[in-house]
A and B are shown apart, each in its own frame.
Chain A
């Protein structure tokens, strides 16, 4: 059976390794990107089941990437993972097509369950 792939986009290696490690341990194929521009390249190269996306990043931030991607049109699930709690920004992400908002630090088991649930529901 084909492994589902997840793209983890965060400028912090700490977060990429933590989140990516938790997903890889339950069988996901994990790809990392350090900012929005690199994420765009990865998304153009291959298909991902889900993207985990930070907001505050250099070059291209998560909200800008989301608005550029149009995830609904691409059939791409995007979960935001950030320290940001400002309602206006959360609303902007929702409008741009994000499927969820997770506030750092998140429980890794819960994160994995959420990813599995979203991918399972979309299958």
Chain B
């Protein structure tokens, strides 16, 4: 169980680091023993997506301060709005996590991503998260939160797979 929990932590953390890297933003996971949930800052941009699969169901949320989104907007060819950007990125984050979980025989079905108000995120936080991952950037902290249920016993590592990954283009 501990190995599976550690595997899920690594999957979520590495997926988040790679996601932000794809936008040119360096993020570093904050070690759990240094992370103080009561020190959460407020987040202007929050989106969530539901997921469901054997042994794993719940909601993944991504919270980003406006100061971090400002780094994305430095590139004038990115005419995004913060709300749509965070919504698309929680979708891409779950996509990365789903892809990595396939190595553990876990197949997830994703819902549609949705923007959350900061207040709704506070309510979700008040109900309690299954896990929270904080990431430090030069402009503030990014948060990834997981709520729901996980049965770690269903995680069965099947070794490296030849699954496609982010950025791949496969022509039929």
Q: Which residues of A contact B (CB under 8 A)?
A: 11-15, 17-18, 21, 56-58, 82-87, 90, 94, 98-107, 110-111, 114, 118
Number of residues from B at the complex interface, CB < 8 A: 31
A100 touches B172 (CB 8 A): yes
- Contact pick for B102, options A11, A85, A99, A100, CB 8 Å: A85
A61 to chain B, nearest CB (A): 9
B80 touches A100 (CB 8 A): no
B80 touches A85 (CB 8 A): no
Most interface-central of B22, B91, B107, B172 (chain A CB within 10 A): B172
- Contact pick for B98, options A83, A110, A111, CB 8 Å: A83
The residue in chain B whose Cβ has the minimal distance to the Cβ of A57 is B112
- Contact pick for B95, options A12, A15, A84, A110, CB 8 Å: A84
- Chain B stretch 67-115: residues in CB contact (< 8 A) with chain A: 77-81, 84-85, 87-88, 91-92, 94-96, 98-99, 102, 107, 110, 112
Q: Kindly list chain B residues whose C-beta atoms are within 8 Å of the C-beta of A114.
A: 169, 171
B112 touches A56 (CB 8 A): yes
Q: Given the complex of chains A and B, what is the CA–CA distance between A83 and B95 in angstroms?
A: 5
A105 touches B22 (CB 8 A): yes
A58 to chain B, nearest CB (A): 6
B84 touches A56 (CB 8 A): no
A99 touches B171 (CB 8 A): yes
Q: Given the complex of chains A and B, what is the CA–CA distance between A99 and B172 in angstroms?
A: 5
Q: Given the complex of chains A and B, what is the CA–CA distance between A62 and B96 in angstroms?
A: 19
The residue in chain A whose Cβ has the minimal distance to the Cβ of B110 is A56
Q: Given the complex of chains A and B, what is the CA–CA distance between A107 and B84 in angstroms?
A: 20
